[in-house]
Structure 1
Amino acid sequence: MARRRSVKFVDAAGLALPWQPHLYYSKFNFSRGTLLVSFDLRGGKGALPTIECRDASSPYRVSPCVSTQADADFITQFAAFLH
């Protein structure tokens, strides 16, 4: 059931890259402190969503990263620079 504030991603035939479709949000305005990210995730049949928090450096650094496998297990990875 969609809520008032929800985003639905729908796969399409012929997408060039495996990470498409995707969403990019860059309105965070802080350089120190703690960021709390909270969401509910509902995946449809065959969906393998990945959620990554990245910085704007080049090459970018990713952490944390939450992904799913075909058996619906979650895998969470935190980069060394966060430890």
Structure 2
Amino acid sequence: GQFPLHLAARGGYIGIMGLLLSRGARIDAKDTCGRTALHYAADAGHLDAVGMLLSVGANPFLVDSEGCNSLHIAASKGREDIVRVLME
């Protein structure tokens, strides 16, 4: 299953993400597929969510069960803006 932070990141709900993190949500928690909130934000193309997660310490190098990190996912979807942010 997914965590609430994953769902909020996938939907680009910055306010909810902030609330969840302020209430102790683990930023790099992995779901059953090995994905983190950053994976989901990158996959969905939510640049603001990616930036917010990185600014509060999300690890962009974590890989999912298929060996993909957030950069791989963003690149595979053609999300050039997110690729640039992840490479900074």
With the length of structure 2 as denominator, give the TM-score of the two structures. Answer: 0.29
Q: Normalized per residue, which structure has more strand?
A: 1
Larger RCO of the pair (alpha carbons < 8 Å, separation 6+): 2
| Larger-gyration structure (1/2) | 1
With the length of structure 1 as denominator, give the TM-score of the two structures. Answer: 0.30
